[in-house]
Amino acid sequence: MTKTINESTAAAMLQAADNILLLAHQYPDGDTLGSNFALCRALQALGKTVRVCCGDPIPDKYNYLYQDVPQPDFSPDFVCAVDVADVKLLGDALAKQYGDKIDLCIDHHGTNTGYAAYTCVDSTCGAAAMVVYRIIGLLGVELSPAIAQCIYTGIATDTGCFKYSNAGALAHRIAADCIEVGIPYEMINRVNFDTKSRARIELERMALDRMRFYHQGRVAVMAITNAMVEESQAGENDLEGLPPIPRQIEGVWVGITLRQKADGNYKISVRTGTHADAAKICAVLGGGGHERAAGCTTQGALEDATATILSAVEQVVPRIVTG
Amino acid sequence: MTKTINESTAAAMLQAADNILLLAHQYPDGDTLGSNFALCRALQALGKTVRVCCGDPIPDKYNYLYQDVPQPDFSPDFVCAVDVADVKLLGDALAKQYGDKIDLCIDHHGTNTGYAAYTCVDSTCGAAAMVVYRIIGLLGVELSPAIAQCIYTGIATDTGCFKYSNAGALAHRIAADCIEVGIPYEMINRVNFDTKSRARIELERMALDRMRFYHQGRVAVMAITNAMVEESQAGENDLEGLPPIPRQIEGVWVGITLRQKADGNYKISVRTGTHADAAKICAVLGGGGHERAAGCTTQGALEDATATILSAVEQVVPRIVTG
């Protein structure tokens, strides 16, 4: 059973610790990396021995977050996971090695499973980097440009560059604090939001070619098959951020993305506007999620998967057919 | 010769005026509409008779900015242009009617031509809405949610949802002030950044189909022909925001968009990263602009236009061929 603590207590625990191992989640994103490396830099500024560990390789585009951060080898006396909602999200190897030895977890997920000895969660924050920002302040470490660009990256990437509902006033105020110390925020945003590989462009082109509409354009279905991924030479990173695309089309109530898995079956992502509940649609097929974004899996070929999810949509949102 | 004034003087002039006509620029965008309707609402809150006039129809997506704002008919005693850098940008009809009768211009373009009797420009602001925000404060009008959503819209749309270099600390702080009074910022961002018509999707698909790469992928050329616009049934609004696309592709130094005009010739938009100067490339063909974004026009068919601009690129950036 974890003990819930506030940011002051978390800062005091870190202040008292040394030889600190920080853990990021697998498939690392801008928030888990930004918040971990911001904290790493701050603790190193206090003279502590610290490094960040991630179960997956870090994509090259995040090099600017940590290229000048020493990552010493040592036997940790204190283990702290940042932006990791569930111990499973560390990945198998790290979960096995450290899963039952995590002293502190700093997070912003309301769904945090409480796997650490002490947990400091603020689910009103749009990014873990916002929680870390306050803890760094409590540690008395000055907000350097290097720390600020890690914090800004965490906030910008988790809020879709301030687009989503989690980009509240505090997210903007902390971003402003970071900008004021002098960070290359335009470069950060270009790298994270305005750069696509040629493989990704090719994959999007193929996906748009094969987009199908149903029920007077209220349902849009986009399929990503293994053949398309192979033909476009898209890597795992190129497949991120596809599910919002069908929903962005004007008049679409339900946007569906079908992504073929290695076993040939399809993983389904559902995105909805105010007219339909994505979680209810996916629940029909044993899946789950949120009102506006949910997921499930199906068995069978593309035609079967499409028919199955369309039938779930029609069942949950009958108005989509008749209305 | 215009007289340059600060925001306090501008506020005092508006405070003393009544029967105020506010003018937006043609091809209205979120900033000219947001800043005009924010100021309109504030002046109406002071009991003044005010309306906003725009030379072009306002796209439906901006309805939320003004649907509850009375637009009375009256003979104006005071004319104020907001976010209009040049009198020509009012469009022919409004420029003819009011061009020499504009009492005040409130703007954020450093290139403002000084056509108004008094000009209040702050070119450090990423959006005219930021200047208007401060003037509204000086007028002593409370920031209502209705005013705040106009201000937020102006800032978000002119900064690419806080993505560009003009999204500095002040832009974020004013956005935070707007969010704190309670505005549907998620809806605003969805409408402005995450909604595409089916015609637009179709046009993008065709444009990606025909994207061409040169010089080891360092130059990407995207063409939009009149035939493509017709086939996709794209309207004028669907054509916005296309020029950044080729430049977003990884490894591209120079992204070129060729857009066919009514007369069959091509308008060229050039976007560059740090390796090339877009203004210098376009200057070869008699065009101009900024270091990262510039434009020019050419005569002739698509193949000729492509050859012409590629030759300009090779001349200005020889390293793109050999490097």
Chain B residues close to A193, C-beta within 8 Å: 163
A3-193 and A198-322, same CATH topology: no
Q: Binning pLDDT at 50, 70 and 90, where does residue A1 land?
A: confident
Helix and strand counts by DSSP (H, E) for chain A: 14, 12
On whether the CB atoms of residues B176 and B144 are closer than 8 A, the answer is no
**Length in residues, chain B:** 323
> Can you give A204-253 as a three-state secondary structure string?
HHHHHHCCEEECCCCEEEEEECHHHHHHHCCCHHHHCCCCHHHHCECCCC
* pLDDT higher than 80, residue A323: no
Average the pLDDT over B175-188 and give the result: 97
Query: Residues B10, B16, B17, CA angle at the centre, nearest 5°?
Result: 90
Q: Which of A162, A198, A251 sits opposite B162 (nearest CB)?
A: A162
Confidence band for B237, pLDDT divided at 50, 70 and 90 = confident
**Nearest CA distance, A264 vs chain B (angstrom):** 26
What CA–CA distance (Å, rounded) separates A89 from A98?
A: 12
Q: Which residues neighbour A240 within 8 Å (Cβ) at sequence distance 6 or greater?
A: none
pLDDT at B279: 92
Mean pLDDT of A170-188: 97
Residue A18 has pLDDT above 70, yes or no: yes
Which residue type, as a one-letter code, is found at position A61?
K
The answer to whether B213 contacts chain A (CB < 8 Å) is: yes
Q: What average pLDDT does the segment A207-229 reach?
A: 95
**Exposure string over A277-304, b if 16+ CB within 10 A, otherwise e:** bbbbbbbebebebeebbbbbbbeeebee
- Whole-complex ipTM: 0.90
Task: Calculate mean pLDDT across residues A162-179.
Answer: 96
For residue B236, pLDDT over 90 is answered with: no
Residue written as token pair 């035609």: A303
- Tens of pLDDT, residues B21-69: 999 999 899 999 999 999 999 999 999 999 999 999 999 999 999 999 9
The pLDDT-based confidence of A9 (bands split at 50, 70, 90) is very high
The mean pLDDT value of chain B amounts to 95
Nearest C-alpha of chain A: how many angstroms from B177? 7
Question: Is residue B224 scored above 70 in pLDDT?
Answer: yes
Residue type, A91: G
**What is the average pLDDT across A44-50?**
98
A120 Ramachandran zone, left/alpha/beta (phi>0; psi -120 to 50) = beta
Say yes or no: B181 contacts chain A, CB-CB below 8 A: no
| pLDDT value of residue A288 | 86
Q: Is CATH 3.40.50.740 the right assignment for the domain spanning A198-322?
A: no
On the question of pLDDT at B293 being above 90, the answer is no
| Distance between CA atoms of residues B50 and B52, nearest Å | 7
How many percent of chain B have pLDDT more than 70? 100
Q: What is the pLDDT of residue A126?
A: 94
The residues near A233 (Cβ < 8 Å, ≥ 6 apart) are A199, A202
Q: How confident is the model at residue B241 (pLDDT cuts 50, 70, 90)?
A: confident
Question: What's the rounded mean pLDDT across residues B300-304?
Answer: 96
| pLDDT score of A26 more than 70 | yes
Contacts of B190 in chain A (CB under 8 A): 163
Each domain of chain A, given as residue ranges in start order, spans: 3-193, 198-322
A137-152 confidence digits (pLDDT tens): 999 999 999 999 999 9
In the structure, what pLDDT confidence band is assigned to residue A92 with cuts at 50, 70 and 90?
A: very high
Rg (chain A; Cα; Å): 21
Mean of the per-residue pLDDT values of chain A: 95
User: Which pLDDT belongs to residue A166?
Assistant: 92
Nearest Cβ partner for B249 among A172, A198, A213: A198
Helix, strand or coil for residue B222? strand
Residue-wise pLDDT for A244-289, tens only, equals 999 999 999 999 999 999 999 999 999 998 889 999 999 999 998 8
Whether residue A50 is predicted with pLDDT greater than 80 in this model: the reply is yes
Contact A186 B180 (CB under 8 A): no
pLDDT of residue B323: 66
Among the four given CATH numbers 3.90.1640.10, 3.40.920.10, 3.30.420.10, 3.10.20.90, the one describing domain B3-193: 3.90.1640.10
Percent of chain B surpassing pLDDT 90: 90
* DSSP 8-state code for residue A239: G
Q: Kindly tell me the sign of the dihedral angle through the C-alpha atoms of A124, A126, A130, A135.
A: positive
CA-closest candidate to residue B290, choices B282, B298, B301, B302: B282
State whether residue B169 sits within 8 Å of chain A by CB: yes
Nearest to B176 among A173, A179, A208 (CB): A173
Q: Can you give the pLDDT at residue B91? A: 95
Contact call for B162 and A169, based on CB within 8 A? no
pLDDT surpasses 90 at A111? no
Give the model confidence (pLDDT) of A56-91 as tens digits.
999 999 999 999 999 999 999 999 999 999 999 999
B249 touches chain A (CB under 8 A): yes
